[in-house]
Structure 1
Amino acid sequence: MNVPKKVKAMPWPEEWKSQTNQDVIVTLDWPVVDHERLMVVTFRRNTGKRRYGTPPGPDVRLVCSKKRNRAAMEYRGGSRPKKRADLEEAVGAMCVSVGTCYPEITPEDEAALAKWLGAKQTMNHMLPELSRWVEDAMEQEREAEARARGELEDDEVTRLCPDELPEGLVEYIRNTMLPQDRVLLYKKGNVRGTCFACGETVYARGQRFRQGTVAKCPDCGAMVVAYLESSDRYAVDYVQDLVTVQKGKDGATLFLRQWHLCRDKSAKWESVEDYLEEIARYAVRGNRVAKWQIEKKEAWCMNTYRYRLKDWERVKNVTEVYDGTYQFFLPPNWREILQGTSLEYCDLGGYVRERELARREADHRGNPVRFLMDWARYPAVEKLWKARYTELIHERMTGQWRTKKHSITWTARKIQDAVHLPLRLLRLKETAKWTTKDIAKLAELRELATAGVIQEREAVELFTAGVEIDNVRQALGHATVHKVVKYVEKLVAEEEAKKDAEEAEAKKNRMPYYRGRVYSPETYRDYLADCVRLHLNLDDREVLFPADLEAAHQRTIAQVKYQENKAAWKKFEKQARKLAAMAWERDGLLIRPARTPGELTAEGKALHHCVGGYADRMAAGETVILFIRKAEEPDTPFYTLEYRNGVVVQCRTSHNATYEQDESVKNFVDAWVERATKKDKERKKAATAA
């Protein structure tokens, strides 16, 4: 029921503010709409009462029609906190409860409310009775709307579902499921047990059975997982879940029935039917689906507890299979079962075959239950599957499509409408190799072409080259797409060649080597972002396509850091100028202070130590960092020295190796310290004399 326009036009009473302890004030109005007198109940919260925690929601106006047995809600300000909320939820948003709140209502309004509800006994001024009436009215409205849409009703789970087991199910369990059961249940003492691979009572030889470990059956030699017979484990009580398909008694409804195959602790399996425990039913009729369960489970204290329900209970999430994994039995007459239903043309057999092939390759994708449900609800599933865009369907069945879920419109009836791409572009790849990520990527490139950033042929070139648009977005418009693609391919080839050489060297030295993935495209993306931030001219080919990307990126990183920490850098450089007199050269070696924080970062990266973190301390004058170089290689890192209060704190080279291992460097440092100390004394003496 919708709120009538006449009621919407009614002015709201002023907000209620009282110093009393009452929570809400309740008032009644009786407008006539379409020859029916409606009851309008207005709940206004007490704004003068102090509240803590979550701020209360807006005032509520309840519209009730006794003739149609319907109710509707309206909120002050036009807000709608929850679609079709009942009275308890609506008033609960005001931080009160209909059963325990302290309302203010006139005796006349309370008497009128009791008469309208036909209630003889008053509880909390008739508010709980009113809440129950509203809840029943809204539930009846939901049921009526569901019937009008053709939704499956709850009684159909038992009325239309077949009573007998599907033909061939028991044989499938004996021939397929039981031979795959690799469990050994042992008794206390860890010596005697039952192997379900061979069905025999066995005794441990040598080492005893241990909980959850893989053991070799002493009799048949099969590799089995051992469990204590009395342990609380799913594998102890159940073999596996099983799902199959059956036609309903009306001939138009299709049921998917799910069972637990409970474990026969004796491993005899004389009557398989006695160990089947049905737990869930899924139904499909037309494009409507439903799911019921008669078992539920709860996780508590690291364990999962299962319990049976008194009756079948409807579940909202229809495509989530209870317990997750399951075996699917495809009856030999599956085409006959689907005939006459909305799934008559569903390629269930083809999907199950692909699922079985994937399971043999240790790829556990495939969900026939969701496949059937989605085939009935979404026309695009049928179109894409029959056109052999199988990977798109598999991604939907396993949930991988959610990362790019808006790329495909599953309700569309044409492929080009579903993927938002013309058919000519879908010929760029084999149909079975298209992924949701591919669809999203090509759609984004096509949007750039539509906006005039690139041409469509350039978008195709970017897509076929496999270049991620985010990695080259900043370069578009400054060079042709062909040149950008070629540059990225060159970067990738150089990095791959470098990794090949490193791997060959590691094999030569019999050292482990982790190849890892290629990072140069992402490095190029970050470099371009730095160029934009620094307002560099990307139309300059040397800037857009640097010959040494790594070196160029390090320069832009340093410049960005400089821009972000300009004041700190100026302080560092001022300190470096004061220390310039500490530079010295002798015996083919030279020493000088670090001039910029960028030099410290580069030094630490080249020699694999942490000197890059000393920039703040040097800028504050707490310490001095100096570089030792060979005179003929003044720009090549050699040793790094920390000097504080006239003492060498540390002097290290690559990977933190100390300078004491190189006698020439040690002698040079000792001579420099002696000279620096002498100069310090002379400077202090001159300062004292002055």
Structure 2
Amino acid sequence: MSLDPEFLAHFPKEVSQELVDYVRDIVFYESRYVFVKTVKGIQHGYCSHCEKDYMIDQLQPLKHNESWTCQLCASPVVVKSAGRGRKNLFTEAYVVWYEKSQVDPETIVAMGLHVTRDYGDYRNVKTMFREVSMYLFEPGYSEQRVYNGWRDEWSKLKKIRSESTGLMQYKGTFISHENVAATVQNTPFQYSTWESYKDLYGREDLVHFFALAARYSCIEYLTKIGFRKFIEAKLTGLRTYGTINWNGKTLEKVIRLSKSELKQLKRERVIPRPELLYVYQTLKKHGLSVSFETADLLDDLFIEEAIKLHEPLDFVTKYALKQRSKSLLAYHSTSSIIRDLRDYWQEAEELGLDVTKDHIKYPNNLQKAHEDTSRRIKIKVDEKVNEQIKKRIPSLERYSFTQGRLHIRPATSSIELFDEGKALKHCVGQYAKRYAEGDTDIYVIRKNDAPHKSYFTVEIQQNRVIQCRGFRNCNMTKEVAAFIEAFELEKLKRRKRNRNLSA
């Protein structure tokens, strides 16, 4: 497919001098060379930037690949020996260049150009411009054509895409913001707030932004009232949860908030985000009016998970907020409260509790209630394991040891291992089965004045301490290390000696 004349008429017929200068001075700024050769003991150079020959005025001769400054144009250059091969001395980039339409004052166009310079013949280097993509943006409409080299034809795309992450993804991408500003001046895109999105990762060439601005006139005032996160989400393909009516004719209809709600949002100084508005609007539909600050404590996943409970959303929300206020450390997000509540209900039913009663279904302290049901389930599941551990305790108890303010003893059950791992934030609870079957021995270290408080956990195999871990798997303190050394000497090494004697 060739470019139809009506589309092509919007674009300039020749490369502008501004574009040539931009590529030379910005895009290929670091691709400037001086090619040197020595004639009768005198070094001569040819600068690829100013395109002039001259004698090198320097005592020490320039070396190949040395960084230097041209003595005529003062341009930073890299020295290249003229006698060496230059088949790989080739530079390229992808440039997105904007222009005003040649036929419509309200339309702007952009050209995606693959630009190259080949220094094989360094005295006849030309900058080559090859169009790989062409964009047209007018109020209410945008269009893109891309060139397929292997078919030698242009194709019209259904959606605007960036070639900087497509065909040109392995080339450096360049865009001149001065060029964009000059292009949009005196067009409907002049106040589109494109400047706010020029550094958006993966969207630096602005083609997605101008496609969005062409389609929705609300982009300008959404940015100006602080709703930038919604536009960023729209540009990058993230969810906006249907919170914005992009075709709304008034601000209130676009953001689905009244003037008083918008004033309240500004007063509360929370950052407007799609997730925040989704939570606020959903709760409002279910009859619960909350502040934006309160909605900010919730999250989109909370709403989605809470709805799946098939319980009144307003009641569940109030309950979750109450539980979060009770234990900020346990619940970093309100969605985790819903997960805990669902798990608690399942465990409660398995234990035969009557979850139709409100005080059981919605316990005053969910964290404590969930810990209790989890422990009871653990006991129920681990009856066989605990019976095996119980049989091992008498033989292991002989190696209990006390010195100073510490003592060590064998773990008494899988529940103790479960609680130990939870208190110290490590994985000893997973060792219960191995411990019960005698594959390893698990001991706990306690302070004498706090015998029921987890402190350090010890694994022993073949009369040797394999590991001794404290909170979050921390290493032994000096006191604990000295204690373990004394324990090994008194109990484990003596045990080994006794075995040797009896043998």
Q: Smaller-chain TM-score range? A: 0.5 to 0.7
> In 2, distance between residues paired with 1:350 and 1:429?
23
> In 2, distance between residues paired with 1:651 and 1:659?
13
SS in 2 for 1:279: strand
Are the equivalent residues in 1 in contact too, given 2:408–2:446 (CA < 8 A)?
yes
2:140 is equivalent to residue 287 of structure 1? yes
Tell me what 1:375 maps to: 213
2:215 is equivalent to residue 402 of structure 1? no
How many residues were matched structurally? 445
Structure 1 moving runs of 4+ over 6 Å: 185-189, 191-207, 223-226, 250-253, 266-272, 471-476, 605-610, 656-661, 674-677
Tell me what 2:354 maps to: none
> In 1, distance between residues paired with 2:376 and 2:232?
49
Deviations 1:421-469 (A, max 9, x none): 44433334459x997x7233222233223324xx31x243313x55536
Counterpart of 2:278 (choices 424, 435, 443) is 443
Are the equivalent residues in 2 in contact too, given 1:576–1:593 (CA < 8 A)?
no
Tell me what 1:650 maps to: 465
SS in 2 for 1:653: strand
SS in 1 for 2:31: strand
SS in 2 for 1:425: helix
- Counterpart of 1:246, as a letter, is K
Are residues 674 and 641 of structure 1, via their aligned partners in 2, closer, same or farther at CA, if it must alter by over 3 Å? same
C-alpha displacement of 1:349: 5.8
C-alpha displacement of 1:521: 0.9
Are the equivalent residues in 2 in contact too, given 1:194–1:267 (CA < 8 A)?
no
> In 2, distance between residues paired with 1:197 and 1:405?
53
C-alpha displacement of 1:170: 1.2
- Counterpart of 1:596, as a letter, is S
Counterpart of 1:427 (choices 235, 241, 263) is 263
> In 2, distance between residues paired with 1:225 and 1:396?
47
Are residues 617 and 310 of structure 1, via their aligned partners in 2, closer, same or farther at CA, if it must alter by over 3 Å? closer
1:120-131 map, 5 Å: none
Tell me what 2:160 maps to: 318
Tell me what 1:460 maps to: 292
Unpaired segments ≥5 residues, structure 2: 39-43, 307-312, 349-359
What is the aligned-residue identity percentage? Answer: 17
2:28 is equivalent to residue 181 of structure 1? yes
C-alpha displacement of 1:572: 1.6
> In 2, distance between residues paired with 1:347 and 1:218?
42
Select between 479-488 and 252-261 the one with higher mean Cα deviation. 479-488
Are the equivalent residues in 1 in contact too, given 2:111–2:134 (CA < 8 A)?
yes
Are the equivalent residues in 1 in contact too, given 2:101–2:108 (CA < 8 A)?
yes
Are residues 224 and 371 of structure 1, via their aligned partners in 2, closer, same or farther at CA, if it must alter by over 3 Å? farther
> In 2, distance between residues paired with 1:260 and 1:605?
59
2:182 is equivalent to residue 327 of structure 1? no
2:434 is equivalent to residue 617 of structure 1? yes
> In 2, distance between residues paired with 1:446 and 1:468?
12
C-alpha displacement of 1:574: 0.8
Are the equivalent residues in 2 in contact too, given 1:404–1:440 (CA < 8 A)?
yes
> In 2, distance between residues paired with 1:349 and 1:656?
60
Deviations 1:246-275 (A, max 9, x none): 324477865433434443749999999x74
SS in 2 for 1:244: strand
1:134-153 map, 5 Å: none
Are the equivalent residues in 1 in contact too, given 2:35–2:79 (CA < 8 A)?
no
SS in 2 for 1:424: helix
Tell me what 1:157 maps to: 7
C-alpha displacement of 1:374: 2.7
> In 1, distance between residues paired with 2:5 and 2:392?
89
Are residues 580 and 419 of structure 1, via their aligned partners in 2, closer, same or farther at CA, if it must alter by over 3 Å? same
C-alpha displacement of 1:321: 4.3
> In 2, distance between residues paired with 1:404 and 1:194?
57
Select between 668-677 and 248-257 the one with higher mean Cα deviation. 668-677
SS in 2 for 1:521: coil
> In 2, distance between residues paired with 1:161 and 1:471?
49
1:81-96 map, 5 Å: none
> In 2, distance between residues paired with 1:598 and 1:577?
12
Tell me what 2:18 maps to: 171
Tell me what 2:254 maps to: 418
> In 1, distance between residues paired with 2:459 and 2:97?
72
Tell me what 2:339 maps to: 529
> In 2, distance between residues paired with 1:350 and 1:270?
43
The TM-score, its normalising length taken from structure 2, stands at 0.65
Tell me what 1:593 maps to: 410
> In 1, distance between residues paired with 2:341 and 2:460?
34
Counterpart of 1:579 (choices 374, 392, 410) is 392
> In 2, distance between residues paired with 1:205 and 1:486?
75
Deviations 1:460-490 (A, max 9, x none): 3313x555365698797375787567557x6
The TM-score, its normalising length taken from structure 1, stands at 0.50
Counterpart of 1:477 (choices 315, 324, 327) is 315
> In 2, distance between residues paired with 1:389 and 1:404?
12
Are residues 531 and 577 of structure 1, via their aligned partners in 2, closer, same or farther at CA, if it must alter by over 3 Å? farther
Are the equivalent residues in 2 in contact too, given 1:409–1:418 (CA < 8 A)?
yes
Are the equivalent residues in 1 in contact too, given 2:112–2:134 (CA < 8 A)?
yes
> In 2, distance between residues paired with 1:638 and 1:383?
59
Q: CA-atom RMSD, angstroms?
A: 5.5
C-alpha displacement of 1:534: 2.5
Are the equivalent residues in 2 in contact too, given 1:575–1:619 (CA < 8 A)?
yes
Deviations 1:314-370 (A, max 9, x none): 33333434637442524747556x4xxxxxxx2336645546xx55xx977554433
Are residues 528 and 674 of structure 1, via their aligned partners in 2, closer, same or farther at CA, if it must alter by over 3 Å? farther
Deviations 1:178-204 (A, max 9, x none): 145332367999x99988778789999
Deviations 1:61-111 (A, max 9, x none): xxxxxxxxxxxxxxxxxxxxxxxxxxxxxxxxxxxxxxxxxxxxxxxxxxx
SS in 1 for 2:455: coil
SS in 1 for 2:332: helix
2:190 is equivalent to residue 348 of structure 1? yes
2:475 is equivalent to residue 640 of structure 1? no
1:380-391 map, 5 Å: 380-381=218-219, 384=222, 389-391=227-229
- Counterpart of 2:431, as a letter, is Y
Tell me what 2:355 maps to: none
Are residues 269 and 525 of structure 1, via their aligned partners in 2, closer, same or farther at CA, if it must alter by over 3 Å? farther
> In 2, distance between residues paired with 1:651 and 1:163?
76
Unpaired segments ≥5 residues, structure 1: 1-151, 210-214, 297-306, 339-345, 492-518, 547-551, 678-690
Tell me what 2:487 maps to: 665
Tell me what 1:560 maps to: 374
Deviations 1:610-663 (A, max 9, x none): 6444322223344443435454442343562536xxx52536434676978745
Are the equivalent residues in 1 in contact too, given 2:417–2:432 (CA < 8 A)?
yes
> In 2, distance between residues paired with 1:579 and 1:661?
24
SS in 1 for 2:162: coil
Query: Between Structure 1 and Structure 2, whose CA radius of gyration is higher?
Result: 1
